[in-house]
A and B are shown apart, each in its own frame.
Chain A
């Protein structure tokens, strides 16, 4: 029978906690850079949050001529416009910012009228494959809903970990989570990628993934706290990280494989999502190894878990 290849060097213990300082400093620097970027450059919000219109078009006769498009649409007087060539030479993405309402006109109507003008100007040779027109009322709500969803999710996670572990674990997990989300946002900022609703979904996915990763390590730390009552805390954490390292790398690898295939094969709509996910998996893995545990060590944990272990065993017994 084929047992599979256990390629992991299990007998080798990486001294991660000993050199944690350099990893933590790297993380802090990158985190601060991300915050600075977000503060100065900000995010390139898509029309979901800013309002405006978007058209994904395909030329029916050969490659699309961006210059010609620009000339055609520039004359409409619809304010600033972005035209982006897509992977297929026949495809392009056109974005208009939110229209200013004319005197006595509602701004929702202004969006609609502008979109109608664009559709007319594009003519018959161009197929409009996707249209999105978002008015100001809706865009504000979408942004707000996104922010509350992320915030509440974080608090929910915080309370759950607090309940299952100890408050130190909860704080450390949230620190790792905020670290991951902020740095991913920073990457979106520096690359100027469009940030819309599906990217929020990606961010939430990454939050789920990152927390999952962190909890696995914490779970092992808790177990080892019960087992080795005398071991120095940094040593114990190092052992726990190393014991779960093969799992962390394997899982990240398989998930990364799945997301990579979406990124390679996916259409324009989902590319941003897949990108955020890929990055999120890497940063989530990084933070569960190099951020969460050092932070936990820094704020310290309760050493005496004997009482809890007993009650846990009782529940485990009841379970089986």
Chain B
């Protein structure tokens, strides 16, 4: 056990050096790091929000809203397809999870089914997905009806798409708050985790990402007012939206918008030159500018409505308002304009940001919020440093007291162990949080234990009458099995925690599992190498008892 080939010595030294190099950036300032040669590791260990302070928001997407929107567009598709095929229908409507249409003439059933089946369902995974799964099913329902039903796989695809685009939108919106690098990732099926380091007040963050902000431009019904529509009946293809300033007032607007918010290329907060109240000025893209120019030329003297759809309110009712409904005084050909709508400076600013960054596909609800102020984070780090210092000195004193020179060997091995863990964590870009520190402490405990096992074994062998050199030899080899067994058992717990756990538990599992590998390496190669070198340095053939 005490013989090391040159190759093996080189290997151990190399790994230890790598550990030192990978850990080193954590102790250097950013400036020093910049002048660091490029072939050396640069990455610093990122600290969890619980240590450096910041906001952690878990958002959940309202999938029922997503489903409702989808059914609405499916309803439009059905209408268009049946019209194009000149198939007459009555009662086209949507329930919570399907679109149903009743045909006037039952003999058209087969044709209608064929028509809808070829045009509406899309294969999952795009046209080249190759699978047999479709996002919707077209079925014959009871009593001459046709039902268009979204499948689970289709809904899943919708959610995935919506989450992906929501992450993009959030990123663009959040970039307006400050300079820190937020992390925005999908979590689970329909959730998004936003982590914003250094941010304490989450109010503004929540305001910015809590609104859908879908802006659309609509034609207003030429004659009918909102009050009239509510008393009689809303004409087909029109809807009634309340005014943003005066909830008693409402407008009858065409359901299908003239122009969508996506066609706005720019939106900025500003002030009206005459009234100096806050406004938002915007610009259309080429296509929308042409469209809007044509519309305004044909409709001089009539109003159009700028509608803001903010998803759902707290009580679940739709949050859609008409921001303003200006009368067209002259054709607007330049493709730019302004929205006034009783804004405050802040709300104009926020809305401009929201419009610029695009609409969210559905409302996001905060299901979990955790913030740690920077001062508390600093306290935690300071406390951690003190704990490490005092604990470290305590353990060191204890080990040296109990094992003398070999105790120092063990401490060096534990130090290498820590460097390897922190170095690896820095390299793979994992985050150190409070539970992670706990994992490190357990690792120190187990690493010390590995050395204690070896040394106690060596002492035992010597008590049994063995010569020091053979006692050392069999001490290492006998302790090996025990160390492997005890560490692997713990590793199993670590892997399970990583696999099943979330957040803090995962962070703990990462450090613990890395720590176990490092412990096995250091106890069996680093400590043993130091002991072997010590034995080799003894001049006399009969070496003194080391322990």
A254, chain B: closest CB distance, angstroms: 5
Residue of B nearest to A196 (CB): B504
A201 near B508 with CB under 8 A, answer: yes
Task: Judge whether A131 and B369 touch: CB under 8 Å.
Answer: yes
- A216:B486 contact, CB within 8 angstroms: yes
Q: Is the CB of A145 within 8 A of B373?
A: no
- Please tell me if B58 contacts chain A, counting CB pairs below 8 Å: yes
List the A side residues contacting B372 at CB < 8 Å.
Answer: 129-130
B493 close to A153 (CB less than 8 A) = yes
User: Which residue of B367, B434, B441, B497 contacts A204 across the interface (Cβ within 8 Å)?
Assistant: B497
Find the A residue at minimum CB distance from B498.
A149
Quick check: which of A23-31, A36-44, A186-194, A206-214 contacts chain B, the rest being far away? A206-214
Select one of B316, B394, B438, B545 contacting A277, CB under 8 A. Answer: B438
Which chain B residues lie closer than 8 Å to A104 at the CB level? 314-316
Contact (A130, B482) CB under 8 Å given A156-B496, A273-B438:
no
Is A202 interfacial (CB 8 A cutoff)? yes
A255 touches B (CB below 8 Å): yes
B165-173, B422-430, B451-459 - the one binding chain A: B451-459
Q: Are A149 and B482 closer than 8 Å at their CB atoms?
A: no
Residues of A with C-beta under 8 A to B391:
257-262
Is B547 interfacial (CB 8 A cutoff)? yes
Any chain A CB within 8 A of the CB of B439? yes
* Chain B residues with CB under 8 A of A6: 402, 459, 547
Report the stretch among B4-12, B269-277, B322-330, B403-411 that lies at the interface. B403-411
A6 and B504 CA atoms in complex are apart in Å by 40
The answer to whether A106 touches B485 (Cβ under 8 A) is no
CA distance A164 to B484 in the complex (A): 11
B371 within 8 A of A: yes
A273 to chain B, nearest CB (A): 6
A125-140 interface bits toward B, Cβ cutoff 8 Å, 1 = contact, 0 = none: 0011111111101100
> Nearest-CB distance from A145 to chain B (Å)?
5
Given contacts A259-B441, A269-B434, contact A4 B402 (CB under 8 A): yes
| Given A153-B492, A215-B482, A246-B456, also A138-B367 (CB < 8 A) | yes
Stretch at the interface among A13-21, A65-73, A109-117, A293-301: A109-117
Interchain CA distance A70-B58 in the complex, whole Å: 29
Whether A82 sits at the interface, judged by CB under 8 Å, is no
Known: A205-B438, A266-B387, A273-B435. A212 touches B504 (CB 8 A): no
Interface flags, A252-292, vs B, CB<8A=1, else 0: 01110111111011110110010001000000000000000
A residues with CB within 8 A of B: 1-7, 10, 56, 58, 103-106, 108-109, 112-113, 115-116, 119, 127-135, 137-138, 142, 145-146, 148-149, 152-153, 156-157, 160-161, 164, 197-198, 200-202, 204-205, 207-209, 211-213, 215-216, 219-220, 223, 243-244, 246-247, 250-251, 253-255, 257-262, 264-267, 269-270, 273, 277, 312, 316, 319-320
B502-A145 in contact (CB<8A):
yes
Residue in contact with B485 in the complex, picked from A130, A215, A257, A316, CB distance below 8 Å:
A215
Are A215 and B486 in contact (CB-based, < 8 A)? yes
Q: Is B337 an interface residue (CB 8 A)?
A: no
SS of B interface (majority):
helix
- Of the candidates B370, B437, B493, B512, which one forms a contact with A131 in the assembled complex, judged by CB atoms under 8 Å apart? B370
Q: Give B residues with C-beta under 8 Å from A.
A: 1, 50, 58, 60, 200, 202-203, 206, 314-316, 365-373, 375-376, 379-380, 383-384, 386-388, 390-392, 394-395, 398-407, 434-435, 437-439, 441-442, 444-446, 448-449, 452-453, 456, 459-460, 463, 477-478, 480-482, 485-490, 492-497, 499-505, 508, 512, 544-547
Determine whether the beta carbon of A208 is less than 8 Å from that of B390: no
Given A10-B460, A108-B60, A270-B437, 9 more A-B residue pairs with CB atoms under 8 Å apart are A108-B365, A108-B367, A135-B368, A137-B60, A138-B367, A250-B402, A258-B391, A261-B388, A270-B380
Q: In the complex, A254→B392 CA distance in Å?
A: 10
Question: Are B493 and A132 neighbours in the complex by a CB distance under 8 Å?
Answer: no
A267 CB contact (under 8 Å) in B383, B460, B501: B383
Chain A residues positioned under 8 Å from B437 (CB to CB): 270
Within the complex, what minimum Cβ distance (angstroms) separates A32 from chain B? Answer: 26
Q: Is the CB of B493 within 8 A of A219?
A: no
Distance, CA A265 to CA B60, complexed state (A): 37
Known: A130-B372, A161-B489, A212-B489. A145 touches B403 (CB 8 A): no
Q: Which of A4, A251, A319 contacts B403 (CB 8 A)?
A: A4
List of 3 A-B pairs having minimum Cβ-Cβ separation, nearest first: A255-B445, A261-B391, A4-B404
> CB distance A208 to B380 under 8 Å?
no
Q: Name the distance in Å between A318's Cβ and chain B's nearest Cβ.
A: 13
B314 close to A264 (CB less than 8 A): no
Return the contact of A265 from the options B387, B398, B497 (Cβ within 8 A).
B387
Inter-subunit contact B404/A2 (CB<8 Å)? yes
Q: Which residues of B contact A277 (CB under 8 A)?
A: 438, 441
Known: A208-B442, A258-B391. A157 touches B505 (CB 8 A): no
Checking B316, B395, B438 against A254 with a beta-carbon cut-off of 8 angstroms, the contacting residue is: B395
Query: Is the contact region of chain A dominated by helix, strand, or loop, or is it mixed?
Result: helix
State whether A208 touches B512 (Cβ < 8 A): yes
Residue from the list A2, A113, A267 in contact with B380, Cβ < 8 A = A267
Q: Are B492 and A160 in contact (CB under 8 A)?
A: yes
Residues on the B chain within 8 Å of A259, using CB? 391, 441
Nearest-CB residue, chain B, relative to A270? B434
- Closest chain-A Cβ to B460's Cβ sits at a distance in Å of 7
Given contacts A197-B505, A258-B441, whether A109 and B314 have CB atoms under 8 Å apart is: yes
Output the least CB separation between B244 and chain A (Å). Answer: 21
**B441 to chain A: which residues have CB within 8 Å?**
255, 258-259, 262, 277
A152 to B475, CA, bound (A): 34
Contact A132 B369 (CB under 8 A): yes
Of the A-B pairs whose beta carbons lie under 8 Å apart in the complex, a sample of 29, sorted by A's number, is: A1-B404, A1-B544, A2-B405, A3-B546, A4-B404, A6-B547, A112-B206, A128-B373, A132-B369, A133-B369, A134-B367, A137-B367, A138-B58, A145-B500, A146-B505, A153-B497, A160-B489, A204-B508, A209-B445, A216-B486, A247-B453, A254-B448, A254-B449, A254-B452, A260-B391, A261-B386, A261-B388, A264-B387, A266-B383
Asked if A106 contacts B365 (CB within 8 A), the reply is yes
Report the minimum CB–CB distance from A243 to chain B (whole Å).
Answer: 7
Residues in chain B near residue A145, CB distance under 8 A: 500-502, 505
Known contacts A4-B406, A127-B373, A130-B376: does B453 contact A212 (CB below 8 Å)?
no
